[in-house]
Amino acid sequence: MNGLKITDGDLALQGNGDVIQISGAERIAQELSCWLLEPLGSDRLYTGFGSDIGDQIGTIIDSDALLAVKTEVVRVVKNYIAYQQNQMTNAKADNLTDFVNAWNEDDIISTINSVSVTSGSTTVTVVVSLTTAGGSSVTVTQSS
């Protein structure tokens, strides 16, 4: 499954002006980053898209806040996995073989290995480690 590469908030372009496409672990990392950065409920068509991690900005960073962030990250990742599975199931049910065949094993998350949340003096960093069905490792890191 291909996606469009985003760099610094814009579509990334090749030297000839074509949009750069990404797939596999790189696409998953980019999409999960977007899911974590977007406010929960910002997509009217898929209300589960996004997270409420932004609600923690400006609050006291204590163990309760870090646990709340970790819990939200796990919810978002599980929601993303369910979204992937739902897309494939619906495509198969609608007999959209081109769409189903566009997915390869490295496009599908099989395991959440770990989610860690750490705090610095002014930042919180989240690191999510995943494995795809094809065995590739995916690491998503977000700081705010």
Nearest-angstrom CA–CA distance, 26 and 2: 10
Which pLDDT score is estimated for 123? 84
Q: In this predicted model, what pLDDT tens digit does every residue of 67-126 receive, in sequence order?
A: 999 999 999 999 999 988 888 888 777 777 776 667 788 989 999 999 999 998 778 899
Q: In this predicted model, what pLDDT tens digit does every residue of 15-33 receive, in sequence order?
A: 999 999 998 999 999 999 9
Which pLDDT score is estimated for 60? 81
DSSP class per residue in 85-137: HHHHHHHHHTT-HHHHHH--GGGSEEEEEEEEEEE-SS-EEEEEEEEETTS-E
- The residues, ordered by sequence, that sit 6+ positions from 34 with a Cβ below 8 Å of its Cβ are 6
Residue type, 144: S
3-class SS of residue 63: helix
Residue with the larger pLDDT of the pair 105 and 144: 105
Kindly report the pTM of this predicted structure: 0.85
Cβ neighbours of 91 (radius 10 Å) = 17
